[in-house]
């Protein structure tokens, strides 16, 4: 599916890596690549390099699960990115200042797998059997692309605009929660800033996870036991700033909280 030998793929990967290293967002990469295959080739080039450097793959995130966002980018399907161990933030802990470029946050349902998902085409029953439990999650998305000036090619190449993620600590079996009807409220220091339900995520979070499982088999990186899957936003994404404290509550799953550290020396 991906052509990592294309010179433009390496050029796009180098541009994004430079933004990672410098902490300064870069120009979009759509002047170098344009198709989804090329964009995923960039993502795969980055992933392979990060794994070679010792980062540990812990799961995947699904993006573009909102039909409104899909329409904005002119696509009709979600996208995905990689989750690494150094992107995980403990519940209630702080995201270090500057750790995520141009951060935004969204509340999601996370699934943690007990079994591999390696079939060419999975059923919902396969997915339910493979899932150990669900957790509430906050994904802190970020963009290495300046001013979030992204097309599908830009966000996919940039690891689906991944930043960090926070998982709740109380595992809930799928049998104990209705993920389609579960309501979500995201608050900033007690003030509601986003809300939604599981149905906002492709009609059901399991629909998103099913799409991901099939897609990852096709690209040669199937989901494995122990992987975490962030299934997609349940409500609108919100901007965040240093000093913010966000808490998400999802019916049947509980709550999860994250803070955003201030730069040293910043005014209180």
List phi, psi (to 5°) of 265.
90, -5
Tell me which residue of 122, 125, 129 sits closest to 211, measured CA to CA: 122
| pLDDT value at residue 267 | 54
Write down the CATH number for the domain with range 57-260. Answer: 3.90.850.10
* Distance in angstroms (rounded) separating the CA atoms of residues 217 and 215: 5
Angle at the Cα of 243 from the Cα atoms of 240 and 84, rounded to 5 degrees = 60
* Distance in angstroms (rounded) separating the CA atoms of residues 39 and 154: 7
pTM for the complete prediction? 0.94
List phi, psi (to 5°) of 212.
-65, -45
Radius of gyration of the chain (CA): 18
| pLDDT value at residue 199 | 95
3-state secondary structure of 143: coil
* Distance in angstroms (rounded) separating the CA atoms of residues 134 and 168: 9
| pLDDT value at residue 5 | 74
Q: How many CB atoms are closer than 10 A to CB 21?
A: 8
* Distance in angstroms (rounded) separating the CA atoms of residues 19 and 147: 13
Domain boundaries of the chain, sorted by first residue: 57-260
| pLDDT value at residue 266 | 55
List phi, psi (to 5°) of 96.
-60, 145
Tens digit of pLDDT at every position of the chain (268 positions):
556 578 999 999 999 999 999 999 999 999 999 999 999 999 999 999 999 999 999 999 999 998 767 776 777 789 999 999 999 999 999 999 999 999 999 999 999 999 999 999 999 999 999 999 999 999 999 999 999 999 999 999 999 999 999 999 999 999 999 999 999 999 999 999 999 999 999 999 999 999 999 999 999 999 999 999 999 999 999 999 999 999 999 999 999 999 999 987 655 5
């Amino acid at each position: 599916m991906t052509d990592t030998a294309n010179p433009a793929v390496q050029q796009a990967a180098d541009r994004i890596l430079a933004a990672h290293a410098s902490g300064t967002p870069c120009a979009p990469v759509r002047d170098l690549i344009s198709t989804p295959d090329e964009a995923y080739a960039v993502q795969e080039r980055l992933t392979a390099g990060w794994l070679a450097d010792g980062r540990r793959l812990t799961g995947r995130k699904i993006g573009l699960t909102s039909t409104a966002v899909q329409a904005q980018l002119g696509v009709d399907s979600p996208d995905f990115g990689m989750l690494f161990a150094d992107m995980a933030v403990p519940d209630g802990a702080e995201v270090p200042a500057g750790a995520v470029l141009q951060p935004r946050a969204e509340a999601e349902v996370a699934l943690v797998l007990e079994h591999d998902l390696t079939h060419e085409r999975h059923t919902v029953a396969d997915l339910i059997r493979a899932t150990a439990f669900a957790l509430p999650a906050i994904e802190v998305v970020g963009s290495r692309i300046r001013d979030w000036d992204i097309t599908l090619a830009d966000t996919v190449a940039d690891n689906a605009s991944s930043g960090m993620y926070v998982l709740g600590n109380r595992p809930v079996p799928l049998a104990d929660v209705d993920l389609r009807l579960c309501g979500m409220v995201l608050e900033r220091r007690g003030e509601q800033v986003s809300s939604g339900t599981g149905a906002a995520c492709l009609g059901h979070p399991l629909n998103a996870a099913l799409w991901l499982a099939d897609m990852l088999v096709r690209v040669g990186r199937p989901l494995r036991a122990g992987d975490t899957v962030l299934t997609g936003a349940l409500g609108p994404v919100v901007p965040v700033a240093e000093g913010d404290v966000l808490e998400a509550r999802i019916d049947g799953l509980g709550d999860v909280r994250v803070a955003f550290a201030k730069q040293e020396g910043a005014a209180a």
